[in-house]
Amino acid sequence: MDFEKSILCIGAGYVGGPTMVVIANKCPQYRVTVVDINQDKVDAWNSENIPIYEPGLDKLVKKVRDKNLFFSTEIDKGIKAADIIFVSVNTPTKNYGQGAGKAADLQYWERTARQILANSGRDKIIVEKSTLPVRTAEAMGRILHETENGVRFEVLSNPEFLAEGTAIKDLENPDRVLIGSKDTESGIKARKEIVEIYANWVPMDRIIESNVWSAELSKLTANAFLAQRISSINSISALCEKTEADIDEVAYAIGTDSRIGPKFLKSSVGFGGSCFKKDILNLVYICQNYGLDEVADYWESVVKINEWQERRFVRNMLLNMFNTVAGKRIALLGFAFKANTGDTRESPAITITRELFEEHAEVVVSDPKALENARIDLKDVEDSIIFEDDPYKASEGAHAIAILTEWELYKDLDYGRIIKGMVQPAFIFDGRNILDHKGLFSMGFNVFAIGKAPLTHI
């Protein structure tokens, strides 16, 4: 069959994978190929056990795989055949040299740009999909314009706004799709080509066109604003614990103000995920580079409050468990950075596990989907941590339970059964405020939640 367009995505991760699966499903007239350097990952995408847990993804993959969706490691071949190339490789925070700890590490990106350059015999549209510092498209453009054979590249920014755990819903029914290009004739022409792809299922009034830098900066700003709401409510959670105000009541009350709105006001043990911290630090780095130190400090404080909230959680555990957890078994329920994903990148659970381990606690980590990643995150202390997917077994003999991820299943556990197997007095620390605190208290638990007065028998 002849396809109308040949689309390539470089990088088969959390962003590239689901995005291309949805494009292939919505656009049977396009041939979509996803390539990655990681052979194991590509093999997994081609198998029964796809490498990402995301509700609904599995079914969509099966519908189109080997029809108009292909996963492969043949990157050069893929580049040659493609009209449009989405780049979705990782852009971690740099951990060396200038900008270490803040700036994005663009080595994967640059390598990709050079590979595109080396394999392109005709004009192509390059779309940046990974979150990147502002002006990356320009840098990419500079590399790509080294061409001597007259091949032209248009570099566009089409940032991804999907959230993990709801990726398919977000992709199928996005609030908006943002496409940035140069304001030149060829830039606008390329932009229209990308608009055409999304127009297959996204209403035109939700497709926003802008210049490249606005698109890039909008992505960082959206994540910074979302994270800032969480840090704001988390900062107030500490005040609630001192004053006996209830954080959920405060969040509800302010969220009904239509100017504020109800979303992203759920106080928690802290935000995680691959984007928030990285993007804010990127923003901070850019501001510092332009001499905007006050702006940089303002945004950096969002990350600092988050780190403080994580540490505060552990401090509360210690304080309330008679100032020591040494030798005590502590069951951590949830390791993923949020529910409905196996992803653990920047999960607060990593810091909390490590801090409890430093305090010589016997830490049991439990999660329905993230134990494999947890083992990787805790590789250096793996032998000292217990990994247990059954929450009942994890809690057996524990002094305390801490809820770190808001998995539905943790709401419905038989806590009456659990408390019987625990060391008394039994403690529960609800880092996601998802449990019935009064009910647990009446069962005999000492209950500590975020931004709420403790319920204790001691």
List residues near ligand UDX by CB under 6 A: 160-164, 223, 226, 230, 264-266, 268, 271-273, 275-276, 337-338
Rounded to 10 degrees, the C-alpha dihedral 279/283/286/287 comes to: -170
Sheet order of strands, 207-211 included: 69-72, 30-35, 5-10, 84-87, 124-128, 153-157, 177-181, 207-211
Residue 92 CB, nearest approach to ligand UDX (Å): 14
Minimum distance from residue 312 beta carbon to ligand UDX (Å) = 14
User: In the bound complex, what is the minimum distance in angstroms from residue 91's beta carbon to ligand ADP?
Assistant: 7
Q: Does 12 bind ligand ADP (CB under 6 A)?
A: yes
Nearer to ligand ADP, 104 or 317 (CB): 104
Total residues binding ligand ADP (CB under 6 A): 21
Decide if 337 contacts 343 (C-beta within 8 A).
Answer: yes
With residue 447 as reference, give the H or E element that holds it.
Answer: strand 446-449
Tokens describing residue 438: 């009064």
* Cβ-based nearer residue to ligand UDX, 213 or 264: 264
Contact between 10 and ligand ADP by CB under 6 A: the answer reads yes
Tokens standing for 431? Answer: 């880092």
Residues catalogued as catalytic: 275
Considering CB distances under 5 to 8 angstroms, the limit depending on partner class, which of ligand UDX, ligand ADP, none binds residue 90? ligand ADP
Nearest CA to 206 out of 174, 163, 170, 162 is that of 174
| From ligand ADP, ligand UDX, none, interface partner of 10 (C-beta below 5 to 8 A by class) | ligand ADP
Q: Which of 34, 75, 179, 361 forms a contact with ligand ADP (CB under 6 A)? A: 75
Helical (H) or strand (E) element with 295 = helix 293-320
CA contacts within 13 A on the Cβ side of 161 = 24
Contact segment (CB under 6 A) with ligand ADP among 108-116, 208-216, 222-230, 386-394 equals 108-116
Cβ(404)–Cβ(430) under 8 Å? Answer: no
The one of ligand UDX, ligand ADP, none whose footprint includes residue 305, by CB under 5 to 8 A per kind, is: none
Contact (CB, 8 A) for 336 and 369: yes
Candidate ranges 13-21, 134-142, 173-181, 369-377; the one touching ligand ADP (CB under 6 A): 13-21
Partner residues linked to 181 by β-bridges = 211
Least Å distance, CB 172 to ligand ADP, is 18
Mutual angle of helices 293-320 and 348-358, in 10-degree steps = 50
Which residue is at the shortest CB distance from ligand ADP?
13
* 78-109 exposure pattern, b = at least 16 Cβ within 10 A, e = fewer: bbeebbbbbbbbbbebbeeeebeebbbbbebb
Nearer CB in complex with ligand UDX: 160/246: 160
Among 8, 16, 174, 271, binds ligand ADP (CB under 6 A): 16
Residue 16 three-state SS: helix
428, β-bridge pairs: 401, 447
Told to check if 341 binds ligand ADP by CB under 6 A, we report: no
Q: Work out how close the CB of 107 gets to ligand ADP at its nearest, in angstroms, rounded to a whole number.
A: 9
Residue 45 · residue 34 · CB < 8 Å: yes
Q: How far is the CB of 251 from ligand UDX (least distance, A)?
A: 8
Residues 26-65 that bind ligand ADP (CB under 6 A): 35-38, 41
Note whether 15 binds ligand ADP by CB under 6 A: yes
Q: How far is the CB of 160 from ligand ADP (least distance, A)?
A: 8
C-alpha radius of gyration, the chain, whole number: 24
Cβ proximity to ligand ADP, 14 vs 448, nearer residue: 14
265 binds, among ligand ADP, ligand UDX, none (CB under 5 to 8 A by kind): ligand UDX
Enter the tokens of residue 42: 């590509």
| Whole-angstrom distance, CA of residue 386 vs CA of residue 391 | 12
Closer CB to ligand ADP, 132 or 250, in the complex: 132
Nearest CB to ligand UDX, comparing residues 163 and 453: 163
CB 368 within 8 A of CB 350: no
Considering only 111, 411, 417, 420, the residue that binds ligand ADP (CB under 6 A) is: 111
Residue 163 binds which entry of ligand UDX, ligand ADP, none, with Cβ cut-offs from 5 to 8 Å by kind? ligand UDX
Residue ranges that bind ligand ADP, judged by CB under 6 A:
10-16, 35-38, 41, 75, 88-90, 108, 111-112, 130, 274
